[in-house]
Chains A and B, each alone.
Chain A
Amino acid sequence: MLMYVVRRILQAVPVVLGTTFLIYFMVFAMPGDPILAMFGDKTPNPAVYEALQQQYHLDQPFLVQYALYMKDLFSGDLGTTFSGQSVADVLARTFPVTLKLAAMAISLEFVLSVVVGLVSGLRKGKLFDNVMLVVGLILLSVPIFVLCFVAQYFVAIKWGWASPTVGADTSVGNMWLPAVVLALSLFTTGMRLMRGTVIDTRSRDFVRTAYAKGLPGRRVIPVHVLRNSLIPVVTNSAANFGVLMVGATVTEGIFNIPGVGNTLYQAIIRGEGPTVVSFVTVMVLAYVVINILVDLLYAILDPRIRYA
């Protein structure tokens, strides 16, 4: 197991270097003045301009710039936002909200995927299965912002079951609607994974043996089929949890949830280039780390992975 962990982390080193370099390259090696470009039509305040030039070491050659930037990044200086707060501070403030939202959404997504996937897999080709396949296809195709607006309009505004935006009150009761939206947007992949695994597990020899020795379905299904079908869905949900922790940018933005994603959303909407770049870099790094953790989780749950 230790070997696997070491190998997996070593594999990530070039990816981390590559992704940061790529983002840095996209921003700072483009033709023209990168700082002016980040501000779009607006002209930055000369003081801001100078500070940014200093922060990104633009007076140095490109590779030196990148090296200095990486040094800053790994010594904990993640950059500053437009209004001068450090990105690390903003992350510390917004992260708990995002974590809560992600936990709510993923619990729901997991339960829905497992239950629907199990029933669909056991009744393959029947009415419920076919209906759920179509529902899944639709949920897979609806862009997340459309899903957000539909939920906001019908559930919150028209029927009044939830508040249309979340704002400062980030209690579970106030955030259930965006959590449901996120869960639905992730539902199809999990459900299909579960359905496929259940169909596969059900035809295994050990399940046939269990039936053959006279066990009733109410024991075979939960103990033999369900438990042996869970690993892919668990890892899928863990990966999704990682993605959501990095921030559900659009959903948090539309529902005005003060989380990580919303900060990026606001920065994009207002055209605050420097904030966008700092945030995206941190998010991509977090995403890489989370992918490693998910792979490790997979290896813990399924010994076949780590011995392969």
Chain B
Amino acid sequence: MPKPEHFVAPFDENEMAEVDKVKLNEKPSNLWRDAWRSLRTRPLFYLSLAAVLVIVLMALFPTLFTHVSPTDDCQLANSNGGPAAGHPMGFTRQGCDVYARVVWGARTSLTVGVLATVISGVIGIITGALAGFYGGWVDSVLSRIGDIFFSIPYILAAVVIMTTLADYRSVWTLAFAIGGFAWASLARILRSEILRVKSGDFVMASIATGRTRFKTLLSHVLPNSMTPVIVYLTISLGGAIVAEATLSFLGVGLGPSVMSWGNDISAAQSSLRTAPMTLIWPSIFLTVTVLAFITLGELVRDALDPKARARG
């Protein structure tokens, strides 16, 4: 009788196949490698990743995509004109090239979106980590503060801040107005994740070997709680881009001199009847960008969550 290759039943014979499958020659598995294995089979993942890369390139090097200046080559004679040679998306009301403006607008959206996400990420991670890890009065105080920020819809808060700071509008104030009010959900998510992680044996081992509690938090608890944070931040980057566009659309974002999709959509709404494409092109870019970030975040979340994977 030949020697069996596995010391368990062949995996196609029972439903526990994935559990029983012993792969001796493979690298040890971990969460991220498993996630990558499930992600790389999803065409949607590559599609959204490609869209994100294109938008990032556009924001960093707009001249790779267009040589037409979005502000200097405007001629009123072209006002609301349709597509022409070298101007595939037509012209705005001011006679500027729509394609060039859309390309240059990516920078504003992405800068404000990334900054706002970083700001809300930093505040959310600090409060969530401290509240979850230390518990007690620290948790009570920080969680109540979080409740307050959680119950103010952040667009309304940003409207108030930007109205008050009308004279100081910049990328930074806008990012603070959005990010400074969007961190509460992140803090809640991280807090509950840390509550789960901190009961692990490795945390006790770390403290037992003489690390201070704070160092344990930094070197063991936090790194092991980052998965939902990364997913949440990816999705909320999409949300921050929407917030920037909405505020610019309402006229309380960056001034009209700044190229931004929200500004362009707002400026084009008066010509909706006659030149709808002037409005629709920046809208498409805005939507695709947001869609790409949200899809990416959700795919990664599904890939990281073994329960979701089992549900299919």
Contact = CB atoms under 8 A, between A and B. Distances in A.
B48 to A, nearest CB: 10
A287 B252 CA distance: 22
Interface string B132-151: 00000000000011011101
A137 B291 contact: yes
A284 B166 contact: no
Interface residues of A, number: 51
17 contacts: A22-B148, A23-B152, A124-B311, A137-B294, A137-B295, A141-B290, A143-B242, A143-B286, A149-B283, A152-B272, A153-B272, A153-B280, A157-B273, A271-B166, A280-B157, A280-B159, A283-B153
B195 interface: no
Contact of A268 (B159, B269, B290): B159
Contacts, number: 135
B246 A26 contact: no
Nearest to A30: B164
Contact of B250 (A30, A146, A153, A265): A265
Interface in A272-308: 273, 276-277, 280, 283-284, 287-288, 291
Contacts of A41: 166
Contacts of A150: 280, 283
Given A14-B144, A40-B163, A145-B246, 14 more contacts: A23-B152, A23-B157, A34-B164, A37-B166, A40-B167, A124-B311, A137-B298, A146-B287, A153-B280, A250-B246, A254-B269, A271-B166, A280-B156, A284-B151
Contacts of A152: 272
B297 to A, nearest CB: 11
Nearest to B272: A153
B205 interface: no
B273 A26 contact: no
Interface string A247-276: 001100010000000000100110101001
B163 A276 contact: yes
B104 interface: no
Interface of B: 144-145, 147-149, 151-153, 155-157, 159-161, 163-167, 238, 242, 245-246, 249-252, 265, 269, 272-273, 276, 279-280, 283, 286-287, 290-291, 294-295, 298, 311-312
B312 A124 contact: yes
A19 B269 contact: no
A18 B160 contact: no
Which of A40, A246, A283 gathers the greatest number of chain B CB atoms within 10 Å?
A40
A284 B153 contact: yes
Contacts of B298: 137
A90 interface: no
A271 B312 CA distance: 50
Given A30-B165, A277-B163, A18 B287 contact: no
A268 B163 contact: yes
Given A40-B166, A124-B312, A268-B159, A141 B153 contact: no
Contacts of A153: 272, 276, 279-280
Contacts of B287: 138, 141-143, 146
A149 B152 CA distance: 27
Given A15-B147, A269-B250, A143 B160 contact: no
B151 A146 contact: no
Given A153-B272, A268-B251, A138 B163 contact: no
Interface of A: 11, 14-15, 18-19, 22-23, 26-27, 30, 32, 34, 37-38, 40-41, 124-125, 137-138, 140-146, 149-150, 152-153, 157, 199, 243, 246, 249-250, 254, 265, 268-269, 271, 273, 276-277, 280, 283-284, 287-288, 291
Contacts of A14: 144, 147-148
A247 to B, nearest CB: 10
A98 B188 CA distance: 32
A40 B2 CA distance: 87
Nearest to B287: A142
Given A18-B145, A149-B283, A291 B167 contact: no
B252 A22 contact: no
A34 B291 CA distance: 39
